[in-house]
A = this chain, B = another copy of it.
Amino acid sequence: MPQVKFRVFASALSAAAMLLAMPARADGLVDDVTGVALDKDGRVIHFTGIVINDDGTVKKLLGRKDKRPERPDWREDMHGKVLIPGMIDAHGHVMELGFRELSLDLSDTSSLEEAQRKIAAFTAKNEGRPWILGGGWNQEKWGLGRFPTAADLDTIAPDKPVWLMRADGHAGWANSAAMKAAGVTAKTETPKGGRIERDANGKPTGIFVDAATALIEKVVPKPTPRDRDLAFVRAQEKLLSDGITATADMGTSLEDWMTFRRAGDTNRLRMRIMSYALGVDTAQIIAGPGPTPWLYDDKLKVVGIKLYADGALGSRGAWLKQPYADAPKQTGNQLLADDQLLNLMSRGAMDGFQLAVHAIGDRANQQVLDAIAELSDTYKGDRRWRIEHAQIVDPVDLPRFAKHGIVASMQPTHATSDMHMAEVRLGEARLKGAYAWKSMLDMGVPLAFGSDYPVEEPNPFVGWAVAFTRQDANGEPFGGWHPEEAITREQAWRAFTQGGAYAGFAEDKFGTLAPGEQADFLIVDRDPTLASPSELRETKVLQTWVGGLPVWKRK
C-alpha cells in the first residue's frame, strides 16, 4: 500500500460526528409490539418497542413504561403484533434451494405413480428445455421397497434426458436418454466414493449414488449467469418468507459466490449469508489468503470451508463403524483418506478459515474427531471446528465434541424424516447417540440448528417444534421418537438463533436483539413461546426485517 504520509481528510468522519451531535435525529422506532426474545443467557425476555440506529442496528429494547424517543426519524406501529428475532439456519444450500424452486419438485409425492404423473406434466409444460431437471423424490416415502429405475422414466419421457436428485441430494435417477447422453453403459466403471445400481447383467438401472452422480452431472447443461441470478432471487424470497434472516451456505462454489456478489453489488442482497467455500481450493479462489471481511453491511462473508467425510444415510452413503443393518456388506462411503482430510483441514486452518466437515455416519464422525484432535495441538485459539449433521455418533465419541469446543451443526427435521429409515439402516442398538441433541447440550457442546434446505423445507418453525417434541407433522410417534434426546423449547430456539450466529463467528453481529446487534426481526402471527407444537409449526411470518429495514412482507 502506498505510504500516504500526509493527512487523510476526514470530511466524511466529521459529517458523521455532526449528525451524532443532533439528539435523536437518526433513530427509528418500531413500536407497540408484543416482543419476545432470548437474552444472551438464553432466558425469555419481553419488550414492546425497538429503537433502531440509523445504521440499522438495535439501539435499545423498550418496555411498556419506557420513554419513547421524542422525535424519531421514522416510526412503525405494529398494533400489538408479535415480534421475535430473525431465525438463523446454520446449514443450508442457498443456490440449490433456488434451483429447486425453479425445477421439478417431487418432494410432495407419496408414490411412484404420483411422481410419474408430475414428471409427465412438467415435461409437457417445458418443451423448450433440453433436459428435465428436478428432485426431491424419496423411495422410502413412496413405500416402493426398491429404488426407481430408468424404465420407470422411459415410459413417460422416452426421448428427452431426465435427471432427478433424491431428496437427500446423495443420489440421482436418470432415464435412458440421460444415460445415453452421458455415455453410461454396462462397461462404465464405478467411480471411487460412488455406486451405480446395476441389474443382474451389470447394466446400470438408472440410480447413481454419491460420486457416481458426476457421471450424469457432467453432461447436464450448465446454468447461465442469468439462470443463477434468478435462482438466487427465488431462494432469498423463500428464505425471507420463512423468517430466515441469516443462513450459513454450506459449500459455496465459485459460481455461487459470484452470484451472491452480483446480488450485493446491485443492492439485491437482503439477507445475511455466512459462506463456507466448497473445498480448500475454492476458498483460496473466492476469499484469498483468509476469510473475507463482512461485505455489504454485514450481509456476506466467507467464514470457512466445507468438506465432506461421507455421504447420507438414506442412500447408504453414510460411513459406519459396523455394516448397515439392512445391507450387511456395506459400511458406506469414506470420501477422504485420513491423511487427505487432515491435509485439507490443515491447509484451511493455516489460512485462518473455519472448518465445517460433513459427517453423518459414526465412523465418519470418528474420523473427523480424530483429525480435529490432531489439529488442535497445532491450531490453537478459538477455532470453532464444526461437524455438520453429526447424525450418528458412537456414544464413546460424544464427549470429544465438548473437549475440542466443536460446534454440532444439526438439523432437527432430519430426525423425524429419517426415523423409520434410520431404524432399518442402523437397527435399534445404534440409535443411542443418533440425533443426540440433548446429550450434546448436556455435555456443553454448542448446538447450531438448521434445516439442510433444500433437502428439507427451510421453515425453521417446523424444526423448532421437532426439537422439543421429536414428533413429525402428524404428532407421530406418540410421546416422541427417542424422547430422551428432546431439548426444551427455549434451548431449541436458541440453537436456531444465537447458536447459528455463534457457529459462524457472528454472535456480535446478530442472533439476539441486544443493543449494537443488527435489527433483524420478524413480525409473526402468534407467540412461539406460547403456541402448542402443532400451532408453532403453522406460524406465519408477516414481515421480515433485516438491518432495520423491511425486506419482505406477506401479501
Contacts and interface: CB of A to CB of B under 8 A. Distances in A.
Contact of A289 (B14, B74, B224, B555): B224
A265 B289 contact: no
Given A4-B552, A5-B553, A265-B293, A74 B11 contact: yes
Contact of A551 (B2, B12, B284): B2
B259 A12 contact: no
B258 A285 contact: yes
Given A9-B74, A12-B54, A226 B4 contact: no
Nearest to A292: B265
Contact of A285 (B6, B14, B255): B255
Contacts of A361: none
Contacts of A26: 11, 15
* Copies assembled: 2
A551 B288 contact: no
A64 interface: no
Given A225-B288, A229-B289, A293-B266, A73 B550 contact: no
A441 interface: no
A332 B306 CA distance: 48
A337 interface: no
Interface string A494-533: 0000000000000000000000000000000000000000
29 contacts: A1-B233, A1-B268, A2-B236, A2-B237, A2-B551, A3-B555, A5-B553, A5-B555, A6-B550, A6-B553, A8-B549, A9-B548, A11-B54, A11-B73, A11-B74, A14-B73, A15-B25, A15-B26, A224-B284, A224-B289, A225-B284, A225-B288, A229-B288, A229-B289, A255-B285, A258-B285, A258-B286, A262-B292, A266-B293
A72 to B, nearest CB: 10
A331 B335 CA distance: 53
A225 B350 CA distance: 13
Interface of A: 1-6, 8-9, 11-12, 14-15, 19, 25-26, 28, 54, 73-74, 224-226, 228-229, 233, 236-237, 240-241, 254-255, 258-259, 261-262, 265-266, 268, 270, 284-289, 292-293, 295, 548-553, 555
A497 to B, nearest CB: 21
A237 to B, nearest CB: 5
Contacts of A286: 258
Contacts of A15: 19, 25-26, 54
Contacts of A3: 555
A237 B2 CA distance: 5
B4 A28 contact: no
A241 B224 CA distance: 41
Contacts of A266: 293
Given A2-B552, A254-B254, 11 more contacts: A1-B237, A2-B240, A2-B241, A2-B553, A8-B549, A9-B28, A225-B289, A226-B288, A258-B286, A262-B292, A265-B295
Contacts of A240: 2
A8 B292 contact: no
A270 B14 CA distance: 21
A287 to B, nearest CB: 8
